[in-house]
Chain A
């Protein structure tokens, strides 16, 4: 169910293997990877990064410094391309004065099945834990956005492709309970290749587990906003990702059930320009609106105020 084969194996291995796609996307991928490496390092490292490090936009090739890019919320100043960012960045963008409390950060994955592919699952987990500050593919935080208290659950693609496993399912469930106890709105920021295969059927069952919790949130009359970012696939789109009172997305994000390569192989045809992008989903009626990252905080504030007042 992890539908983005290439991207997932890339994030699984942590190797610098170049994507073997032909055509114009090749240069794009290389630049993109170089940039992503720069922007997904842990926060402490990020601060130590020399100011003069340059980054090039994969869409329009505009060159600017990484600090300039960060200033612009990792959105290309020239063409509005939204770079992929992680939970830390989203929390800093959304919460007032970058202040928030992280919840349930003591929950971690275990290799219950003793799953081994090219590497044992436990080893993969250990490696990511030693390389990053991330504990799993989702972090939950509570804090104020423009003085409205909000619970935000945000995925990190860097952690096994943002995959949905037992930990994400449990954190999501506890976040819902927290919202119900404290009568708070809930925002989930998705960025995931799909279910975590190393947890086999347990990962699949998280679709039902999280949907069940959303049923309780709905009965409590509380607001659930699903923000889909690049990329969101498989189990996320087949569960809570598409179950928001409002499903919204960043511009240009790839969103779908099956990954583009799988579809291409199935129908044996090239996919049209813009297929599975946010704008495509909006056109087909599956998104309520698309929101620029720079307008995200204010638009969320307006929406929540409209609902709650």
Chain B
């Protein structure tokens, strides 16, 4: 897939999947999922060099780790629509006996997932380990990871950030979803984190900023830039400025939909704003 329109159509369908998944079980995290929909679609369908089949070790392909596991709806939708498992299985999200647990896990054997996440702040360490395994295996492919901005409040991230530059982990592109929101409010009101770009640079990372993190072309351009900066002795951080709830107007620009599902009427509005493109599951 390379056509921007195709990626946008897929994003619209992913938004529908997210809304329908969380609505059905009246739980889950639509806000951050919608905010990262363009990024995840672009990553899996254009940016990553990946195999069609799933093998845990992922030798000879790029790998992705989702650290902020609560945006599982977008992850599941993108994985299913990339062919890792049947799209119909999205209807089992958060139900008993489902492989689509509330937060992603390897425990139920869902193809596409390489580590459990949900308890925040652990994904970057895992991504670094996978990046070091790639180096040991002389595998030149890259490791991608995604983290929430609020998630950076977890101290383990800073252990990992310090380690990655100190050990020249230059086959890693860690993206921070800068939506400025977390459960209790804006990141600035909950715990101001100062200038995140300055912090990553002070820790020895190369930083790429994507100002329009919900614009497919901007994402493709920014990630190509990030990719070009790998292999130069430094880990690469992408600061992706997104709008939480993007594509569903009443969910945008607020933390209110971080972990809340739409009711029937709200779902109808959200779906109307995002007409079917590829077909619902």
- B and A form one assembly: no
